[in-house]
Structure 1
Amino acid sequence: MTTLGTEEHGMHDGLRLMPFHGLRYVPERVGSLAAVTSPPYDVVVRPDGLHHLESADPHNIVRLILPQADTPSARNEQAARTLHDWLAEGILSADPEPALYVYEQRRGDMLQRGVIGALALSTADAGIVLPHEDVMPHVVTDRAGLMRATSANLEPLLLTYRSDDGGAAAGAVGTVGAADVVEATAERPPLLSTTTEDGFCHRLWAITDPAELAAVTADLGHRQALIADGHHRWATYLRLQEEHHSPTPWDFGLVLLVDTARYPLQVRAIHRMLRRLPVADALAALEGSFRVRRIEGTLDEALTALGAASEAGNAFLLTGDGAFHLVSDPDPELIDRTVRHDRPEAWRRLDATVLHATLLDALWQVPDSAEHIMYIHDTEATVDMAERNGGTAVLLHPVREDVVRELARQGVTMPRKSTSFGPKPATGLVLRSLN
C-alpha cells in the first residue's frame, strides 16, 4: 500500500517520491533470491531466456511479468492468480513499515546506487518527468492489462536526475540531500544481498527514519528526471491513473531514481531483427543510396568499425548471413526527402530516425509491427536470431546521454527503442502492491 499522505514541505515543483510498503520475497521460502529475479520484461530474450528463468526457480518473478497462456486475458488472469497464491503461501510478504529503498548494483569497478519509491504521476503534466522515446500502443495495452489484473507495480522504471543541475538543497551549507542519505544508508547492513548469474551484486536497504525521508523528499521536490528505461510502463501508469478517480494508489508508480552526476549510466543501443527481410534483399535495396562495405573479422571488430563510422555520420551494421556489412554515407537528397523537417537537426541526424524513416519505411518498406520487427538489447542474441530465422539483424551504435537529455528537455521524443540505459534494476527485489 502506498502512503498517500499530505504535503509536509509545501508545494513541490519537482519530483514527489513517497514511501510504500515494499512487497518482497521471503528468503526462507525460495531457493535463492538470485534464482527468483529477472531482467526487466522487455530485456528477457524469448523463448530461450524465458525458459531458463522459469526453470531457475518455480517462483521466479518472470511468471508474473511474462505469464504464459494462449490469450492476453488468460495470461493476465494467470499472473493475478500466481501473485495471490504467493502472497497466501508466504512466498511474498509486505514490509511492515512504509519505506523508500536504497538499491545498489555492483560488478567489478561498476557501482550504481539509487532510491526506489512511489512517484506521484501528477508530475507528468508539468514537464518534470521527461520521456525521450515514443511508445508502441499495443505494448502499453499489454502492460496495462497485466497491472490491472495484478493490482501491482511488478518492476520499477529507471529514472535519472542530476544533483549538479541545481535545486533548493544543492550547495546549501548544512543541507542533507537525497544523495547524502543514499550514501549513509549504504553504510548499514542491508535488507538483502544477492549476486545474479551476470555477476552483479544487488543490495537493498529500507529508509524509514522520518528525518531521512524528509531530506530525500525535500531534495527531490526540486528535481527534474529523465526516463532512462521504462517508457511503456510510464505510459501504462498514466493510462491506469486515468481509469481511477483520484486520490488512489494509482496516482503513483514504482520508480528507481539514480543521480547520474554521481553514478553515470551506461548507454547502449537497442538493435532490430527484421523477421521477413533476408540480408541479400536488404542490401540490394540500398544500392545507390548508401555505401556498403563488407567487414572481415569478429563481431567485436565489426562493432568497432561501426563505432568509427558513426563518428562521421549515420551508420548501421547488417548481418544474419554469416558476414558483416557496414552501411554508411547515405545520399543527402534521400535523407532530405524521407526524414521529416519539423524536428531539431539533432533529431534528424539520429541513427534511429534515419533507420525508421529512410531504411525501414522508404527503402525496405518494413512495417513497424511485432510480426516484422523484433527489438533486442543483446547484440549476440540479435545476430543469432537473425541467422536462425533467415532475417536481417540491424545493429546500431549507442546515442550519447547528453543528446538524449537535451532533446527531452526540448520536448522532442526519439524513435521508440532508440536507447538502452543501464545497468537496469533487477526485477523481483521489491514490488509495490496497489491493494
Structure 2
Amino acid sequence: MRVKAFKAWRPAEGKAESVASVPYDVVDTKGAAALAAGNPDSFLHVVRAEIDLPEGTDAYSDAVYDQAKANIERFKNDGILIREEKPSIYLYSQQMGDHLQYGIVATCHFEDYEEGKIKIHEKTRRVKEEDRIKYVDIQNANTGPVFLAYRDSGKINAMVDAAKATEPLYKFTAVDGVAHTVWKFEDATELEAAFGEIPATYVADGHHRSASAAKVGAKRRAANPNHTGDEPYNYFLAVMFPESELKILAYNRVILALPGTKDEFFAALNEKFEVDANGVAVPRKAGEICMFIDGAWSTLTPKTMPGATDPVAALDVSILQNEVLAPILNIADPRESNDIDFIGGIKGTEELEKWVNDGRAVMAFSMYPTSMDQLFAVADAGMLMPPKSTWFEPKLRSGLLVNTLD
C-alpha cells in the first residue's frame, strides 16, 4: 500500500469544534441547515453548500458546486482553516460511549484502488459517483475522508501508542456526545514504510468518495503528458482503522408497500422461514431476522441456509434480499425501488416501530450486524454485498483535515 503524508488544511486554534461537521451523506439539506444554523464556521457550508442557496435549489446543480468552492476559499482566506507548512500524518480517535477507535489520517494512491489493493464490497450508484467526481474536481480537494480498514499490525499499533502520549492538536466532544481527538505523528516516514508492508486495505465506508477520487486522479493523469505518479492528484484522503477496533451496526430495512395482501405475504413467507411470534426485536445471532408487522415482533429463521462457500449468499442481508425482498415483495433492486428504505442501527428498533406505527411503512426488518470477517471475505473474493449491508459508527467528521490536490 502506498500511504503518504500530506500538507493538510485544518482548523485554526480554537476552531476545531465549530468547523467539524457530520459527513455530507448522513444528513439531508434540511438537517444540514439546522445543524449549521448560527455557525458560519460549520464545514456543512462546504459539504452541503446548498444550505447557503435559495430553498429548493437542486443539490446537484452547478450553483451548489460553485458555492462550495466559494465557501472553502472563504474558510482559507479568513483563517478558519490554516495550512500545514510540511506534510504530516495524523492520528484521529473517536469515542462513542464505551467504544474507542484510533484511525491514521493520510493519503492513499488512487492506482492502488484501480489495482484492487484498496478493496471494495459495495457497488456505487452512478449519479452519486458523478456528483462526487464533479465536487472533488471543482474543489480541487478531498473535503471528507474515505473510511478504510486494515488487518491489525503490531508495528503500527506501537507507533499509535507513542502518538497518543503526545499533546493533541484538537480535543472536543461534539453535540452528539462523540469525543474527537487529533494528534500529529512526529515521523511520517516510519508509518509510510509500515503501510508499505500491508498488502491491502478495505473500504469500510465511502465507496463513492473512493471511486470518485480514483476517477479524478485518472482524469488528471490522462491530461498530463508528463505524469509521474507522484503528483498530489494521485493521492486521496483516508482514515485507516485496524479491524479489531471497528464496530459495525445493523443496517435495518422498512417496507413501504406490499404488492399483494398480507395473507399472501405470510403464505409465501412460511414456505421459506420458521416464523416465531416471540416479541424479540433484535436478532440474537447470525441467521436470524426479526420482523415487525401489525404491532408485533417475530423472529424469522430460514428453513434452508445457503452454502458457506459463497460469502455473499451467507450474509443475512442476502438471505432477506434473495428469499423475501425479491421473490415475495418484488424489490429486485433495492437501490432503485421506491418500496423500501434503510435505517442505520444507531437509531435502534424503536425507530422501526415508529415508521410502521405511524403508517410510513407496512413492516420492518431488524438485522444482525455484518461482521468484519464477512466484509473481508467478500472483498477478498472480489464480490459485492447487497446495498446497505454495513453501518459503521461513529461517523468521521469532515473539515478536521482537508487534502488539496495541488
For the residue of structure 2 that corresponds to 1:50, the secondary structure is: helix
Mapped partners of 2:369, 2:263: distance in 1: 22
In the TM superposition, what is the alpha-carbon distance from 1:195 to its structure 2 partner? 0.8
Could you tell me which amino acid in structure 2 is paired with residue 85 of structure 1? R
Mapped partners of 1:348, 1:268: distance in 2: 19
> Given the alignment, which residue of 211, 218, 237 partners 1:235?
211
- Contact map agreement 2:145 2:237 (CA 8 A) in 1: yes
Q: Does 1:359 align with 2:324?
A: yes
Mapped partners of 1:49, 1:384: distance in 2: 19
Query: TM-score, normalising length from structure 1?
Result: 0.78
Cα distance change, pair 394–302 in 1 and its aligned pair in 2 (3 A) = closer
Q: Does 1:52 align with 2:51?
A: no
Could you tell me which amino acid in structure 1 is paired with residue 241 of structure 2? V
Mapped partners of 1:389, 1:92: distance in 2: 45
| Residues 217-232 of structure 1: pairs in structure 2 closer than 5 A | 217-223=192-198, 224-232=200-208
The aligned residue for residue 349 of structure 1 is 314
Cα distance change, pair 163–382 in 1 and its aligned pair in 2 (3 A) = same
> Given the alignment, which residue of 342, 361, 372 partners 1:375?
342
- Contact map agreement 1:314 1:354 (CA 8 A) in 2: no
Mapped partners of 2:102, 2:359: distance in 1: 39
The aligned residue for residue 315 of structure 1 is 289
| Residues 19-418 of structure 1: pairs in structure 2 closer than 5 A | 19-28=5-14, 30=15, 33-44=16-27, 46=28, 49-55=31-37, 57-68=39-50, 69-73=57-61, 74-164=63-153, 177-207=155-185, 209=186, 212-223=187-198, 224-245=200-221, 246=227, 247=229, 248-261=231-244, 264-274=245-255, 276-277=256-257, 284-289=264-269, 290-294=273-277, 296=279, 302-303=281-282, 307-308=283-284, 310-311=285-286, 313-318=287-292, 323-326=295-298, 328-330=300-302, 332=304, 344-366=309-331, 367-368=333-334, 369=336, 371-377=338-344, 378-380=346-348, 381=351, 383-385=353-355, 387-388=357-358, 390-391=360-361, 392-418=363-389
Structure 1's unaligned 5+ residue stretches are 1-14, 165-169, 171-176
- The sequence identity of aligned pairs, in percent, is 24
The root-mean-square deviation of aligned C-alpha atoms, in Å, is 2.9
Structure 2's unaligned 5+ residue stretches are 51-56, 222-226
Query: TM-score, normalising length from structure 2?
Result: 0.83
Cα distance change, pair 147–374 in 1 and its aligned pair in 2 (3 A) = farther
Mapped partners of 2:166, 2:33: distance in 1: 36
Could you tell me which amino acid in structure 2 is paired with residue 72 of structure 1? Y
For the residue of structure 1 that corresponds to 2:107, the secondary structure is: strand
Could you tell me which amino acid in structure 1 is paired with residue 246 of structure 2? L
Cα distance change, pair 327–109 in 1 and its aligned pair in 2 (3 A) = closer
Cα distance change, pair 422–108 in 1 and its aligned pair in 2 (3 A) = closer
1:149-176, CA deviations, whole angstroms, 9 ceiling, x for partnerless residues? 2221111112111235xxxxx6xxxxxx
- Contact map agreement 1:36 1:56 (CA 8 A) in 2: no
- Contact map agreement 1:271 1:379 (CA 8 A) in 2: no
Mapped partners of 1:141, 1:101: distance in 2: 29
- Contact map agreement 2:259 2:330 (CA 8 A) in 1: no
The aligned residue for residue 3 of structure 1 is none
Mapped partners of 1:51, 1:282: distance in 2: 40
Mapped partners of 2:87, 2:337: distance in 1: 40
Deviates more, 1:115-124 or 1:403-412: 403-412
Count, aligned residues: 382
For the residue of structure 1 that corresponds to 2:281, the secondary structure is: helix
- Contact map agreement 1:314 1:350 (CA 8 A) in 2: no
Mapped partners of 2:180, 2:43: distance in 1: 16
Mapped partners of 2:299, 2:123: distance in 1: 25
